[in-house]
Copies of this chain bind each other. A is one copy, B any other.
């Protein structure tokens, strides 16, 4: 092939003299089939009128040369699209895919992208800045930001300047689409339910407040809501405060894990009986499950001795017979929606913002509510 000086693309078996040094291209197929490159292109894309005979000849030539369709890279450049949507994750998710909520969100995104025949480019950005480079250099037709990503600003800016549509989850920014949830309202409603039961000694087990992880007792809920930089944590604590919950103890954990909830409960319940909380509000279901397990171990009956609530609406079959009283989040829907927004923007539609509602879900760990107070009053 007319290669005079060649391009260095690493070792390609140079002393192999019979076979082609580089892969067959569309032009090679055209030559062998005795047609023009455009005809070959049309044959493979299926988008143009090609006579059966010609198509046959092209396909034969392709098979002979071991040509398996247009090169994705060249096609992408020419068409200006890559067929790939970037999903950029940070924080916890970067280290482990373990959070069931994140997993379900990803699943929702994958649903939508799969249905549109789009690839999902997963980019983990960790605190060290690994991934930022990739996120700004990778080819993608749109990007979805999952949770708060630490190097987000830089990435966001690069993408925006390049005109790549961006969908933000759990945060909003002009120019970008966003999907958020009414965590605060949902938690306020759940808090109201707890208060309606007449509990006075209420403890709260929280998610991490910010990037640095510290485990232990904290003082006051309002201060906590202010101090927390993580949106989930802040919104949910604010919701509790708004509902009028004044906890006797607040315990910060290092993450949404069963073990963390277990430890927190052990600490909170290891006090004289008359000081012991009668209700523990956990900011996630996994934490709540840990609380339930700790209570079981201490011989406390749920919900008679202790009411427990969570957040997320995750399915925990192994906690049977208990089912956490929680706040249901349409997480998969959220992911699908984010995917749909990305697709819409790729088509040129303007960015939209959607807020999905969350709602309390009755379980077995809260106990019966004496008086029905379903709608929480704001204020």
Contact = CB atoms under 8 A, between A and B. Distances in A.
A163 B65 CA distance: 13
A67 B161 contact: yes
Interface stretch (A71-79, A191-199, A203-211, A273-281): A71-79
Contacts of A31: none
B23 A137 contact: no
A269 B68 CA distance: 55
A53 B100 CA distance: 51
Contact of A83 (B67, B138, B163, B257): B138
A246 B104 CA distance: 40
B124 A122 contact: no
Given A71-B162, A114-B131, 11 more contacts: A9-B80, A68-B161, A69-B136, A73-B73, A74-B77, A76-B76, A76-B77, A84-B138, A117-B134, A262-B317, A318-B318
Contacts of A103: 97-98, 103
A123 interface: yes
B97 A117 contact: no
B122 A134 contact: no
Interface string A1-33: 000000101111000000000010000000000
Tell me which of A119, A258, A293 has the highest count of chain B C-beta atoms within 10 A of its own C-beta: A119
Contacts of A267: none
Contact of A68 (B121, B136, B320): B136
A110 B125 CA distance: 11
A161 B66 contact: yes
Q: How many copies does the complex hold?
A: 2
Interface of A: 7, 9-12, 23, 66-69, 71-77, 80, 82-84, 86, 96-98, 100, 103-104, 106-107, 110, 114-115, 117-124, 126, 130-131, 133-134, 136-140, 157-158, 161-163, 257-259, 262, 289-290, 293, 316-320, 347-348
A185 B290 CA distance: 36
Nearest to A348: B11
Contacts of A114: 124, 126, 130-131
Given A103-B98, A117-B133, A162 B68 contact: yes
Contacts of A262: 317
A361 to B, nearest CB: 19
B110 A122 contact: yes
Contact of A80 (B7, B124, B134, B161): B7
A262 B321 CA distance: 13
Contacts of A140: 72
Contact of A97 (B68, B77, B97, B118): B97
A139 B68 contact: no
Contact of A121 (B74, B119, B124, B157): B119
Contact of A138 (B9, B115, B119, B130): B119
